[in-house]
Structure 1
Amino acid sequence: MTYDQFISSLSQSQPPKELPVLLKALWYDANANWEAAHDIAQSSEGTKTYDRLHAYLHRVEGDTWNAGYWYRRAGADVFKGSLKEEWQFLVESLL
């Protein structure tokens, strides 16, 4: 799947079945279902890619302290760009 195909899928009522789970989380986030995205992030705590997603989601929530905790757990620097830029970065890195 390309980035443009992923973006096109956002208009569907459900994420594409073939989407990897972390991309499903970002699909849910883009469709205003933070809770479903967060559930996925929590499902494999201790896995760096899940912890990195978890950091982003807490940034979306506005909880910068908690986001910082998850960035550290993921071994990642705190993202300095906008939430939109971080979402795009994550999607592109997972495709």
Structure 2
Amino acid sequence: MDAESLARSATTDSTPPAGLSAELRVLWLARAGKWDQAHDACQDLPDPAGAWIHAWLHREEGDLGNAAYWYSRARKPVPAKELSLEDEWLDIARALAR
């Protein structure tokens, strides 16, 4: 499943599609507005992918200090303020859908 299809599913479907990787399932939950479920599930994902998603979740939450910690664990730079949450979500989904 590509990132755009995953985003569409998260806004129209009530449950994640079958067969998603654990990482894409967490991204689906995040996009579907299920922050707590996404946060709980991402803690079981291995680094660096899990840390990148975890960082994004804390950035979305507005906890930038915690986000910075998780970006460092993901070995990713803290994104520029100009990068929207939407665009970063797509970047993560595209990278993990490969």
TM over 0.5: yes
Which structure 1 residue ranges, 4+ long, deviate > 3 Å from structure 2?
none
The answer for unaligned runs of 5 or more in structure 1 is none
1:44 positional shift: 3.3
Query: SS where residue 55 of structure 1 aligns?
Result: helix
**Number of positions where the alignment pairs a residue of Structure 1 with one of Structure 2:** 94
TM-score (norm 2): 0.87
C-alpha contact (below 8 Å) 2:4/2:90 kept by paired residues: no
Which structure exhibits the higher relative contact order, with contacts defined as CA atoms closer than 8 Å and separated by 6 or more residues? 2
- Output the amino acid matched with 2:89: W
Shift of 1:14: 0.2
Gaps of 5+ in 2: none
Fraction of identical pairs, as percent: 37
CA RMSD of aligned residues (A): 1.3
Q: Deviations 1:1-54 (Å, cap 9, x if unpaired)?
A: 233432332211100121111111111111110011111211136x21101111
TM-score (norm 1): 0.90
